[in-house]
Amino acid sequence: STVVDAVSVIATKGDIVQGNASGAAAKLAIGANGSLLEVVSGLLAYVTAPTIADFTNGTHDHSNTANAGSIAGILTAPVNYRSGLNCKQATTVTMTVEGGVIDVDGTTVTKTADTILNLTTATDWVDDTSDQATSTYGYIYINAAGKIEMDDVEADEADTSGNTSGIKRYNDTGTDTTDRRMIGWFFMNATGAGELSTYEVGNLKDGDVHNSVVRTDMVNDAVNDTTYGSDLTNTQVHFYSSGRGIVDVKCHVLLSVQVTGSFWRCILNDGSNIAASEAASEEASNLSTSMTLVHAEAYAQGGVTFEAKMLVQSSTFTVADKTMIITEN
């Protein structure tokens, strides 16, 4: 009799039977597609499956009453977070800043498209005046509103409270005192009014972005310096160290003509010759040969100029290729 009573209350496919508060059999109508079965006040009930918007502090709320603002909370980036926003040279006067996500003084800024910066465009600079100049460093910033601009003044604060200990990421000086976070750097060379080279635009080393540049030159150099001089050309790179890791410097030098029985040496220079990087070779034949110079050092935050130099024991050697690689780890 009890079984028959329980079955008799089912009228639709998928309905189930449960005991009600009085101990009698009662029907629970089938829920909507995707619903979950849950105990509510001692009885089974169908509820809507939770979404990411329902999660608050690691729990979820089927009623959705604790939903307000929870998505924003989940997606708020940690302090100093950065993913993407890679800065790179586009032309001799323009740079591209790729999309990404970054924390700017507690505000999570998301850029979904590339930003193009032009040295000659006044409004692309913080002070709305072009600071294009020769042989000068420049810096790329982003503010909490998502505006990306250039300046010729580097970051001087670790945060927006004026602290200077640690990596300097922020600046608020000039006619625009909006706090802005530095994300990249560039060097305007001596060509024209100050132009950009592919190997002199990089990132402040943060998050998942690299700070690495490569300069390759295939113009032959005739080297007959018997002391370290200037015969080896086109290896100089102006680099900006973020001050947060080891800077690895490598230079590969390939000879196409050398003198049998005469030695040649190369050395890296960061303003002065780096003795530990020196390498030498004495040639037993006139076949082409090469050497790679290496150096690693923790440089302070700021600009540093690297180059390679070469000397020979006697006669003239011909250098065919030079590749300088600088990476901050």
Token pair, residue 244, equals 């947060």
Q: Which of 70-79, 126-135, 203-212 is least confident?
A: 70-79
Q: What's the pLDDT tens digit per position in 127-145?
A: 999 999 999 999 999 999 9
- Please, which residues bridge with residue 149 across strands? 141
Say if residues 187 and 197 touch (Cβ distance below 8 Å): yes
Cα separation, 192 vs 194, whole angstroms: 5
Q: What percent of the chain clears pLDDT 90, i.e. is strictly above it?
A: 68
Q: How confident is the model at residue 30, as a pLDDT?
A: 84
Residue 7 clears pLDDT 50, i.e. is over it: yes
User: Which runs of consecutive H residues, i.e. helices, occur in 154-306?
Assistant: none
Q: How confident is the model at residue 261, as a pLDDT?
A: 81
Residues 37 and 148 in one domain: no
Per-residue pLDDT averaged across 185-193, rounded?
99
Residues 196 and 221 in one domain: no
Say if residues 180 and 141 touch (Cβ distance below 8 Å): yes
Q: In what helix (H) or strand (E) does residue 7 lie, and over which residues does it extend? A: helix 2-8
Higher pLDDT among residues 21 and 279, named by residue: 279
Q: How confident is the model at residue 5, as a pLDDT?
A: 55
Q: How confident is the model at residue 71, as a pLDDT?
A: 41
- Pick from 212, 1, 246, 197: nearest CA to 93: 197
Q: How confident is the model at residue 260, as a pLDDT?
A: 80
CATH of the domain at 101: 2.80.20
Please give the C-alpha separations between residue 110 and each of 95, 135, 142, 209, 267, in angstroms, as whole numbers: 19, 33, 11, 15, 44
Residues 6 and 37 in one domain: yes
Rounded to 5 degrees, φ, ψ at 268 are -90, 155
User: Which runs of consecutive H residues, i.e. helices, occur in the chain?
Assistant: 2-8, 70-74
pTM: 0.77
Say if residues 263 and 281 touch (Cβ distance below 8 Å): yes
How many structural domains does the chain have?
A: 3
CATH of the domain at 239: 2.60.120.760
Burial 161-184 (b: 16+ CB within 10 A, else e): eeeeeeebbbbbeeebeebbbbbb
Cα separation, 213 vs 185, whole angstroms: 12
Q: How confident is the model at residue 20, as a pLDDT?
A: 82
CA 33 to chain centre: 44
Q: How confident is the model at residue 11, as a pLDDT?
A: 64
- Final residue of a structural domain among 14, 40, 74: 74
Residues 93 and 165 in one domain: yes
Q: What's the pLDDT tens digit per position in 149-178?
A: 999 999 999 999 999 999 999 999 888 889
Q: How confident is the model at residue 165, as a pLDDT?
A: 92
- Final residue of a structural domain among 16, 47, 74: 74
Q: For residue 94, give its domain range.
A: 82-209
Residues 187 and 220 in one domain: no
Residue 208 clears pLDDT 70, i.e. is over it: yes
Residues 107 and 153 in one domain: yes
Say if residues 70 and 50 touch (Cβ distance below 8 Å): no
Q: Which of 30-44, 258-272, 285-299 is least confident?
A: 30-44
Cα separation, 143 vs 158, whole angstroms: 15
- Final residue of a structural domain among 192, 209, 226: 209
Residues 203 and 86 in one domain: yes
- Pick from 145, 163, 176: nearest CA to 153: 176
Q: How confident is the model at residue 16, as a pLDDT?
A: 84
Q: How confident is the model at residue 183, as a pLDDT?
A: 98
- Pick from 253, 243, 244, 299: nearest CA to 274: 299
